[in-house]
Structure 1
Amino acid sequence: MAEVRKLSGRYRLLNPLGAGSVRLAFDEAEHRDVAVRELRVPPELRDSALFEARRATGLRHPSVVRVLDVLVESGVPWLVMEFVSGVSLEQAVRSRRPLPIPQAARVGVCVLSALSAAHGAGIVHGRVDPGNVLLTATGRAVLSGFGAPSLSMLPSADLWSLAATLHFAVEGRPPGQVPAAGADPFRSLVRAMLHPSGPPPVEVVRETLDRLAVDRPLDAVVEASGPLPPARVAAIGLAVLDRLVTCGGFHGGVQPGNVLVDDSGQARLTPLPRSGTLPAYTAPEGAATLAADLWSLGATLFTAVEGSPPAPGAPLTRAGALAPVLFRLLSGDPAHRPTVDELRRELLAVAVERA
């Protein structure tokens, strides 16, 4: 039987937690379970590591495994951390299967929120990976591993590691040199975060993850429910058009996978980390203009109402009153497409119809 030890006269060491170096302990002063880990660093880095660890004790966030205490026992530094009951993302994926995108997005929302709080306090995690993300029984994700030396990394390194962790969550493997392909907004976001030029703005990452955590892409809605009624498709078109106007420039990614629909049927175009549409939704002129975005919107609405992307000679059998609008949007001549104001009036007229 292993010898039972106490750290600092109050933390009674118990059994190991998982296969790592973290152990369960009982805090006899506060009468609670805690997790403890020996802080293994070269002697020349010990002072700086202790400084970083003690600074981490001030970090408080619902998605952070708190560092409760930092102590030195017989010359050896130890971290005392909040005990969180859960399974690591790495264990969950390897023992079961990759996560569905909404669940992976919820993990991303939690971890990004934790990192934003840490970065705001001047703390870089430095070791974001699937083993340090814990999934609780309530579905909350919490980030462990604070208090270890960050090796002077920048906050952008944490965002790259978050992207690699989310890639693992949905693919079951690290991204390596070739991240997973896929036009859906989740994988597009992950690839953009892994790009050598650096991640998109944090606000774009946060907004996209927030939406993906609760909403479904339009192509998934059509696949599950079949073609949508013209009035509903027109309402989706109005929402996307408003986003394009607000964007104020070329979006370059209007396609069903980037249009998210909530439970009430409200739609929203996701902010695109980097431009790029599938061929079926790319305007024939290939220009970076609002008129090209409108062609892509027409192709997206065609798919929503007919159940498949437009193709040469493809008939409009379900579009009803929306058909003339789609014909104009999908004109090969940008000059023949409607203006924003014209399109808004035409879509509104269809949207208010009651079939």
Structure 2
Amino acid sequence: MGETRKLGGRYRLLNPLGTGSVRLAFDEREHRDVAVRRLRVPAELHNSALDEARRAARLRHPLVARVLDVVVEDGAPWLVMEFVSGASLEQTVRSHHPLPVTQAARVGVCLLSALTTAHEAGIVHGRVDPGNVLLTPTGRAVLTGFGSPSLSMLPSADLWALAATLHFAVEGRPPGQVPAAGADPLRSLIRAMLHPAGPPPIEVVRETLEHLAVDRPLDVVVATAGPLPPAQVAAIGLAVLDRLLAGGEFHGGVQPGNVLLSPDGRALLTPLLRAGTFPAFTAPEGAQTLAADLWSLGATLFTAVQGSPPAPGAPLTRAGALAPVLLRLLSGNPAERPTPDELRRDLRSVIDAPPDPG
């Protein structure tokens, strides 16, 4: 294909972009760079492909590479798309390394926002993958590839593909038959979204990604900053308790990796996303009850204040006024653990207690 060829009398074809079928072109009418791609579909599907591409051209979202024009040249349909400066997620991961969890979650927030808008407009992308995600120099993740025939896929197919894309982002490989293990909230979310039973509710996916994009898991905070002061740990316990009671049912995943801390110190317990609880944070009776969740909460708070999970005979040297609260929570007899009201009162008293001068 000659370098001087024009599409539609205005789009001058230039060099290929990356290793795919997309080419850079110059729009001589609007004096701007654009990206173009030929739609390779059977002749009998040309009309439906053109209809779908023109519908995609009406989609507007700041994190979507817009379809600007649809051109038929020598009987072949071409998409003319907004040119977005940046490297694809696929190039970035293969050339450098998998993304940190926080950055991958930010990518997920961007892509989910773009897909939600598309689905509300009745448009299914159908080809969400690392090659169609552009990471811009300003930190945005822009979804390209709209306008190709989606082969009558359902929106749930886009959510599965989003999870597979995020898996590639943090693992450097597609999920295959065995998605990555790990109890951290992002990998738990990815596995839940890839599960044959279907993804979690979209609100759960959105909330988890948004928090992971800015918050840090409690286990990471303790590993990097060391044990936390008893009053701060008590405040974390109060927030987690409120979340447990608001859920109204057995959680089963209360452990430091599922407790997120915001930059201002607020704590959030993430939903359980088909991930088990580590043995160190599982109540000895193995029951699916609120009392079992409270034992797990005690083990989580013990870890936060001491720097390591509870073990037989482990001393509570850093807990101060929180120590008797933790001992009740970690009782092997569920009947001896505090009720939620008692626990709220005890945690509040630790928060309000004057600092230990020692």
TM-score under structure 1 length normalisation: 0.98
SS of equivalent residue, structure 1 residue 20 = coil
**1:308-327 equivalent positions in 2, closer than 5 A:** 308-327=308-327
Q: Which moved more, 1:337-346 or 1:281-290?
A: 281-290
* Counterpart check, 1:271 vs 2:271: yes
Quick one: distance in 1 between partners of 2:2 and 2:59?
34
* Correspondences of 1:16-35 after superposition (within 5 Å): 16-35=16-35
Tell me the distance in 2 between the aligned counterparts of 1:282 and 1:258: 14
1:271-319 alpha-carbon deviations (Å, 9 max, x no partner): 2223521111111111111111111100000000010111112111111
Distance in structure 2 (CA, Å) of the matches to 1:354 and 1:224: 27
Partner letter of residue 203 of structure 1?
E
Q: Match of 1:148?
A: 148
How far did residue 340 of structure 1 move?
0.6
- 8 Å CA contact 1:251, 1:275 repeated in 2: no
- 1:180-223 residue CA offsets vs partner (Å, 9 max, x unmatched): 11111011110111111111111000000000000000000000
User: What is the distance in 2 between the residues matched to 1:221 and 1:271?
Assistant: 19
Contact 1:204 1:273 in 2 (8 A): no
- 1:71 match: secondary structure: strand
Deviation at 1:354, TM superposition (A): 3.4
Matched, 1:7 2:7: yes
| One-letter code aligned to 1:54 | R
In the TM superposition, 1:132-281 aligns within 5 A as: 132-274=132-274, 276-281=276-281
Instruction: Identify which range, 88-97 or 39-48, moves more after superposition.
Output: 39-48
| Partner deviation per Cα, 1:214-262 (whole Å, 9 max, x = no partner) | 0000000000011111011001001111111111111111110010001
Q: Which amino acid aligns with 1:90?
A: E
Aligned residue type for 1:16: P
Distance in 2 separating the partners of 1:2 and 1:122? 38
Tell me whether 282-291 or 228-237 shows the greater mean CA deviation: 282-291
SS at match of 2:70: strand
Contact 1:5/1:12 (8 A) holds in 2: yes
SS of the residue corresponding to residue 296 of structure 1 reads helix
**What are the ranges of 5 or more consecutive residues in structure 1 without an aligned counterpart?**
none
- Residue-pair matches, total: 355
Mapping of 1:288-303 within 5 angstroms?
Answer: 288-303=288-303
Taking the aligned partners of 2:344 and 2:289, their CA distance within structure 1 comes to 18
Instruction: State the distance in 2 between where 1:334 and 1:62 align.
Output: 52
Distance 1:64 1:21 in 2: 19
CA contact (8 A) 2:250 2:290 kept: yes
Task: Give secondary structure in 2 for the equivalent of 1:70.
Answer: strand
1:115-163 Cα offsets, whole Å, 9 max, x none, are: 1111111111111110000000000001011000111111111111111
**Separation in structure 1 between the aligned mates of residue 345 and residue 275 of structure 2, nearest angstrom:** 28
Distance 2:62 2:254 in 1: 35
Question: Would you say the 8 A contact 2:218–2:259 is kept in 1?
Answer: yes
8 Å CA contact 1:330–1:337 kept in 2: the answer is: yes
> Which residue does 1:84 correspond to in 2?
84
Q: Secondary structure at the match of 2:213?
A: helix
* Higher mean displacement: 102-111 or 22-31: 22-31
Q: 1:18-49, CA deviations, whole angstroms, 9 ceiling, x for partnerless residues?
A: 11111111112211111011111111211111
Match of 1:77, SS state, is strand
Give me the whole-angstrom Cα distance separating, in 2, the residues matched to 1:82 and 1:321. Answer: 60
Query: 1:275–1:337: structure 2 CA closer, same or farther, 3 Å change rule?
Result: farther
Letter in 1 for 2:337: R
Distance in 2 of aligned mates of 1:311 and 1:289: 22
Asked whether 1:59 is paired with 2:59, we answer: yes
What CA distance in whole angstroms lies between the structure 1 residues aligned with 2:55 and 2:217?
41
- Equivalent-residue separation in structure 2 for 1:193 and 1:62 (angstroms): 25
> How well do the aligned residues superpose, as a CA RMSD in angstroms?
1.0
Match of 1:116 in 2: 116
| Residue aligning to 1:102 | 102
Aligned-partner SS, 1:99: coil
| Corresponding position of 1:129 | 129
Deviates more, 1:303-312 or 1:263-272: 263-272
Runs of 4+ off more than 3 Å = none
In structure 2, relative to structure 1, the CA distance for the partners of 1:321 and 1:53 (3 Å cut) is same
Answer whether contact 1:68 1:82 (CA < 8 A) is retained. Answer: yes
Q: Structure 1 residues 71-80 or 267-276, which shifts more?
A: 267-276
